[in-house]
Structure 1
Amino acid sequence: MFAESLRPEHVTDQAARQMSPALTPEAIGRLAIGALYREVALAPKPGLVSPVDSGSHTDMDFSTFVRSLQALRGYFPAIARLGMQTPTYAQLQYCGMDAEQRMLQATNGVNTHRGAIFNLGLLCAAAGIDIALAGSCSAESVSQRVADLWGPAIMVTAKTTQDSHGAVVQRRYGSGGARAEAAAGFPSAIRIGLPAYRAALAQTQCTQLAAVQCFFTLMAELEDTNLLWRGGRQGLAFAREAATTFLDRGGVYVQDWQSQAQTLHTQFVARRLSLADRPIC
């Protein structure tokens, strides 16, 4: 996963041109794009687009995501570079809105990565700050920096956003959604997703298996706004129960995990359920 790529490796704390190639804004951007590509390439993941099929989506497929990623290649290094200047949240928003327009142009108006532009953009900016100020960064440090620097502004903006799916779900169901998660420093990713990923990776030595285990672990715990938007409370409950059952049966550690996950994928598609996009790989 993207956060797991941010190892605390030492670099100089001068300008970006003097830093180790391992932690330049360009390197951070490559990590972000790589995480998003591995996320869409991962299969099976119930309801979501993959190279195999379009899941519960009729307006996008794998090629749509690839075009979107090509359009966003410049965004993540740019916002990491901006982060080195300790920007305001408004400055980050401007950068993100430009990226969103590029995405929409590439996909003919289809929203493939709006969530990633927001969440992963914040993390890239925070990573830029960390490597500029401290010479190193980690998943935990960049997540906390997002909360410390921009958390209040994120929540103020959330109150003024009325027409997004997340805003509608928040009013209808009281779910905090992606903005609340980011403002708090991504606690679900740090406390639930990342430990699950690390444990599975240590046990299996396979990033694909670790990503699938992380995906189901998060689905079992999160109040995902996209699930609420598509299926309401009933859809969310179905997804959480399905994920919990998958994990209770052994998750990716049992031989037939793929057939179990594929069965769930078929059930999600029949109900038109899917989760919000997130870079889990």
Structure 2
Amino acid sequence: MALTLRPLQERPTAARPVRVYEPEAIAAIAVECLRREVETWPKPGLVSHVDSGSHADMDAGTFRRSAIAIRPHLRALAEAGASGVAMGRLRIIGLEAEAAMLAATGGVNTHRGAIFGLGLLCAAAGAVSSGRGDSRMSLGAVVASLWGGDILDGPVLLRSHGSEVGRRYGAGGARLEAARGFPSLYEIALPALRRGAAMVADDSEAARVQACFALIAALQDTNLLHRGGPSGLRFAQLAARGFLAAGGVAQRDWREKAHALHKSFVARRLSPGGSADLLAMSLFVQTCETRSVPCPM
């Protein structure tokens, strides 16, 4: 079952939902969230500090080098957002970040999706901090309001996996998610982070695992479609839903069960990279916003 994405709608509130940070601090938070994502285990099929998951060409060290390499560009995106630039300039900075990533990893794509999604959130945080973005809105809603139309109207990368599976299977992918204000962050990831924290006290890794499984269960992850087609996507979603239905990280032996699912993903070469990107992005939003979900209408 594909997730139905819809624009976030928010009403003004007296409380500021987004904290104000300088561009360097915004970039530092973003890189820390990328580090926390790779330090989370077990995540089905994904790279972590424990193993390389379904990937033979990268490991946690590759991700760490990549995160360090793109940090200056994440700062540049925050500065660009603070300056009120158009989407075209953000794309140029994103391409520069991707070039730095590939140089640091020897041509391996570790963070292309994160550069896009997390980069837009960095730009939104910069816009809010400078007063160019509405401080009463979530970062996702700021992205949609400032750049939503241009995100969808921009050029399509013909050789990207997301574009390929979009043409083949009709998947909306990261562009549609961003244009609509990242509803998966606010409707799936952040609530799951809160539930995971309540289930297992003093274990932030458990909360991150809960959020990762919640994202896999709901998303039409283009990375899964690229590697496994519709059958691979269905397998991943059903496996994640089964883990959650059994109690998620509230189960006494949740790590063993999550590890078993991790091995089943690796055996099928499945890797839900889109869910991993959104996990890092949800950690960024959780850090930057004083409230983690939009106000009810």
Which TM-score applies when normalising by structure 1? 0.89
Provide the C-alpha distance between the structure 2 equivalents of 1:111 and 1:137, rounded to a whole number of angstroms.
34
- Following TM superposition, by how much is the alpha carbon of 1:203 offset from its aligned partner in structure 2, in angstroms? 4.1
- Residue number in structure 2 paired with 1:191: 187
Q: 1:9 to 1:92 in 2, by over 3 A?
A: closer
- Most deviating of 195-204 and 43-52: 195-204
Please give the alpha-carbon distance, in whole angstroms, between the structure 2 residues aligned to 1:149 and 1:73.
23
Q: Which residue matches 2:66?
A: 68
Q: 1:68 to 1:196 in 2, by over 3 A?
A: same
- The 5 Å alignment of 1:64-213 reads 64-133=62-131, 141-157=138-154, 160-205=156-201, 206-213=203-210
State the alpha-carbon separation in 2 of the partners of residues 165 and 10 from structure 1: 34
Equivalents in 2 of 1:200, 1:257: separation in Å? 12
What is the DSSP-based 3-state SS (H/G/I as helix, E as strand, rest coil) of the residue aligned with 1:74?
A: helix
Compared CA separation, residues 80 and 252, structure 1 to 2 (3 A): same
Structure 1 residue 196: Cα displacement: 1.2
Give, in angstroms, the shift of residue 8 of structure 1: 3.5
1:168 is displaced (CA, Å) by: 0.6
- How far off is 1:195 after superposition? 1.1
Q: CA deviation at 1:9?
A: 6.3
Choose which of 259, 268, 280 in structure 1 pairs with 2:256: 259
Please, which of 8, 19, 31 is the counterpart of residue 17 of structure 2? 8
- Aligned residue for 2:45, secondary structure, equals coil
Cα distance, 1:199 vs. partner? 2.5
Paired with 1:275 and 1:153, the residues of 2 have a C-alpha distance of: 27
Structure with more contact order per residue of length (Cα contacts < 8 Å, sep ≥ 6): 2
Alpha-carbon contact 2:17-2:138 (below 8 Å) kept: no
* Distance of aligned partners of 1:48 and 1:137 in 2 relative to their CA distance in 1, 3 Å threshold: farther
Could you tell me which residue of structure 2 aligns to residue 19 of structure 1?
none
Question: Is the 1:127–1:137 Cα contact (8 Å) retained in structure 2?
Answer: no
Deviation at 1:135, TM superposition (A): 9.2
Corresponding position of 1:237: 234
Distance 2:185 2:222 in 1: 15
> 3-state SS of the aligned residue for 1:56?
coil
Alignment of 1:37-48 (within 5 A): 37-48=35-46
Query: Does 161-170 or 231-240 show the bigger shift?
Result: 161-170
How far 1:186 moved relative to its partner?
Answer: 0.4
Stretches of 4+ moved more than 4 A in 1?
134-138
> Aligned equivalents of 2:158 and 2:74: distance in 1?
26
Change beyond 3 A, Cα 1:191–1:203: same
List gaps (5 residues or longer) in structure 1: 1-6, 12-22
State whether residues 18 and 139 of structure 2, in contact with CA within 8 Å, keep that contact through their aligned partners in structure 1.
Answer: no
Output the CA distance in 2 between the equivalents of 1:202 and 1:136.
Answer: 31
* CA deviations over 1:138-163 (Å, ceiling 9, x no partner): 8x6210011111111111125x3322
> Residues 186 and 46 from structure 1, CA distance in 2 versus in 1: closer, same or farther, beyond 3 angstroms?
same
Tell me if structure 2 keeps the 8 A contact 1:147–1:183. Answer: yes
SS state of the match for residue 71, structure 2?
coil
Structure 2 partner of 1:28: 26
TM-score (norm 2): 0.84
Q: What's the CA shift for 1:204?
A: 2.9
Provide the C-alpha distance between the structure 2 equivalents of 1:62 and 1:81, rounded to a whole number of angstroms. Answer: 29
The answer as to whether partners of 1:32 and 1:120 remain within 8 angstroms in 2 is yes
Q: Measure, in 1, the Cα distance between the counterparts of 2:104 and 2:83.
A: 29
Q: Counterparts of 1:196 and 1:152 in 2: how far apart (Å)?
A: 29
Deviation (angstroms), 1:185:
0.5
Which stretches in structure 2 are left out of the alignment for 5+ residues? 1-15, 284-297
Q: CA RMSD in A?
A: 1.8
Are residue 268 (structure 1) and residue 277 (structure 2) matched?
no
Give the number of equivalent residue pairs: 262
